[in-house]
């Protein structure tokens, strides 16, 4: 590859533990990983010790990693980005000043999304309940359904 060619990123799924996901939540994970790939020998990292919680898709531009990934395949432990991120978490790599540039100013809205989803499920359950509610309860269920629906819409905005 010549220096004039643009590196085409590959999209990789990274499995993360709750602790690691929380640690990196305010950072551009793709850029952090690219820097970590330059900093560490990522082919010989210890196995992940924390239970998997979530996954993130990241765009990787490190040519050495891409070449090894294409050669070994996505399931090979030598190209495990989950191991790399857990290793970085264990040594508190974000305390280094070079990572400050990758910090993002967005709040984690995972809880808000879960709350909004639960409201929608409650609304759908109330719609079902309307069909089976006795006549004397129907007006109350209708009022409750409208209130949950209105609150759900206010949370989406």
Which tens digits make up the pLDDT trace of 6-57?
668 899 999 999 999 999 988 999 999 999 999 999 988 988 888 888 889 9
Looking at 70, 85, 104, the residue that finishes a domain is 104
Task: Tell me how many domains the chain contains.
Answer: 2
Query: What DSSP character marks residue 98?
Result: G
Please state, in angstroms and rounded to a whole number, the distance separating the CA atoms of residues 128 and 149: 14
Same domain flag for 29 and 94:
yes
Task: Count Cα neighbours of 102 within 13 Å in the Cβ-side half-sphere.
Answer: 19
Provide, rounded to the nearest whole percent, the portion of the chain with pLDDT above 70.
91
Instruction: Give the mean model confidence (pLDDT) for residues 61-86.
Output: 91
Would you state the pLDDT for residue 91?
93
Confidence of residue 1 (pLDDT cuts 50, 70, 90): very low
Would you state the pLDDT for residue 152?
79
pLDDT in tens, 123-139: 888 888 888 888 888 88
Same domain flag for 67 and 133:
no
**Interhelix angle for 29-39 vs 81-90, to 10°?**
80
Mean model confidence pLDDT for the chain:
86
Residue 3 lies in a domain: no
Instruction: Give the mean model confidence (pLDDT) for residues 90-103.
Output: 91
Instruction: Give the mean model confidence (pLDDT) for residues 107-124.
Output: 78
Would you state the pLDDT for residue 2?
46
Question: Which residues form the domain of 57?
Answer: 10-104
Secondary structure string (H, E, C) spanning 29-80: HHHHHHHHHHHCCCCCCCCCCCCEEEEEEEEECCHHHHHHHHHHCCCCHHHC
Q: Per-residue pLDDT for 3 more than 60?
A: no
Same domain flag for 91 and 19:
yes
């Amino acid at each position: 590859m010549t220096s004039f060619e643009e590196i085409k990123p590959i999209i990789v799924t990274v499995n993360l533990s709750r602790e690691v996901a929380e640690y990196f939540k305010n950072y551009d994970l793709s850029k952090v990983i690219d820097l970590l790939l330059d900093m560490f020998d990522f082919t010989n990292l210890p196995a992940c010790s924390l239970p998997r919680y979530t996954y993130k898709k990241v765009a990787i531009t490190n040519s050495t990693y891409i070449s090894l990934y294409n050669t070994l395949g996505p399931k090979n432990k030598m190209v495990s980005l989950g191991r790399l991120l857990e290793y970085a978490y264990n040594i508190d790599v974000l305390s280094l000043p070079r990572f400050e540039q990758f910090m993002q100013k967005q709040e984690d809205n995972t809880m808000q999304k879960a709350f909004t989803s639960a409201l929608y499920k409650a609304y759908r359950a109330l719609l079902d309940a309307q069909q089976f509610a006795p006549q004397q309860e129907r007006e109350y269920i209708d009022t409750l359904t409208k209130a949950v629906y209105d609150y759900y819409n206010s949370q989406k905005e």
